[in-house]
A and B are shown apart, each in its own frame.
Chain A
C-alpha cells in the first residue's frame, strides 16, 4: 500500500504568471535528494481521486512549484483553489536517478521553462551543503516574465553561474539575442549534466551535449508535460 502523508499548505506565492510555489508543513518529512519528486493526491467528496507527480523545489522541507495547465485536472486546483491551511496528500520522495548527490564534480544544469524546478532544488542543496563544486545553470525561457525564482537566481551565489537564454523576448541590454538553445550556449565535457524540460527541449539539449563530446552516460534527463509528440 502506498503510504500517503497528509500535509498542510503553510504558504504560497505566484512564481510566474502561470505558476505558483506551494510550501507545505510536513512535520514527519524524512528529507530528500534534490531532483526527487512527490506524487500529490486530491480526493473529491465522492471518493474519486487523482494523482500527479511534481518535482521538489526545496533542499529541505516540501516546496513545490506547480505550472498551471489550463485544461488540467490537478494543477488548476493547486494553483487556483488550494488555500493556506488546506490539506493534501503526498507520497514520496520518489526517484533515485535524476538526483544530485553532493560531490566535487562540476555540474551543468540545462533546463527549459518549468524544468528549472529540480535545478533550483540542486542549487539550493549545494548552498545548504556548503559544497564548492562549480555549477552552471543554462536556462531557456520565453521572456523575462517567465523567470522562476527570479530574485534568488539574479542574486550572487559564489560558484554558481546562471545563463539565461531568452527564446522570444530578452530584457533590454541582454547580451544574447533571443533564440533557441545552441551548442555555443553549453559547456564542453567534464561536468555531470542534468537536463529537464519539455520533451522537444530535452531531446535537443541532450543531442547538443552528446555532439559536444559529453559522455551520454553522464547526461541525466527528465521530461515533463501534459503530452508529447
Chain B
C-alpha cells in the first residue's frame, strides 16, 4: 500500500531516458569505497585472465594504440542520479576479446585499489562495454577512475569499475565488493535492481 506524503509535489522527472526512481544531475558525482589510487602509466597494465589461465595483457601504450570509439551514453548511479549524454573515449571490449578463447559465462572485474565487481560476460560484449580513458574531450581524471575505467552504461554505474586492472573469466558467478555488501547482483537500472532484495 502506497503511503502518500502530505503536501509533497516533487519535481516530476519524467524524461523517457530516466529509469525509474532516478533524477537528473548536471554535475558528475563521485562514489568510491576508498582512497583514489595513483597508477603511473609506465606501470599500468590491463589483463584478461581466462578460466584456463591464459592471460592477455596490454600496457598503456598497447591499449591506447588500439582503435578507439567515442561513445555518448547515459549513466545511472544507484544513489539515484543520472547523467545524460556523457562523452567518453575508449576501447571496445569486443576489440580486447578478439583473441580471447573462453567458454566462461561470468566476469569478475578487478581494480587498482582492490575494488571488484561482477557481471555476466555477455554484458561486456557486442558493443555494450569499453575500457574508457577519455571523458568529455580530456584524459579521464583519477577521481573518476583514470587512467582507465570500465564503462558499461546499461547497468548501474558501480559496475563501471574505476581504476580497472583486469577481468577474470569464471564458470561461476563471484560477487564483487558492493554485490557482497547488500547491492543487487546484476543492477539493471530499468528494472530498478538497486539492492539485493530488489
Give me the interface of A with B, judged by CB distance under 8 Å: 1-4, 6, 39, 42-45, 47-53, 73, 77, 81-82, 86-89, 91, 94-98, 199, 202-203, 206-207, 209-210, 216-217, 219-221, 223, 225-229
Contact = CB atoms under 8 A, between A and B. Distances in A.
Interface of B: 2-14, 21, 23, 25-37, 79-81, 113-114, 143, 177-178, 180-182, 192, 194-195, 197-198
B3 A44 contact: no
Contacts of B29: 199, 223, 225-228
Contacts of A219: 34-35
Nearest to B81: A227
Give the dominant DSSP class at A's interface: mixed
B35 A206 contact: yes
Nearest to B37: A216
4 closest cross-chain pairs (CB), A and B: A227-B27, A96-B181, A206-B35, A42-B5
B34 A50 contact: no
16 contacts: A42-B5, A44-B8, A44-B9, A88-B3, A95-B181, A96-B180, A97-B177, A199-B30, A207-B35, A216-B35, A217-B34, A221-B34, A223-B29, A226-B25, A227-B29, A228-B143
A51 B198 CA distance: 14
Contacts of B27: 226-229
A2 B11 CA distance: 22
Contacts of A209: 35
B29 to A, nearest CB: 4
A49 B14 CA distance: 11
A45 B3 CA distance: 9
A227 B28 contact: yes
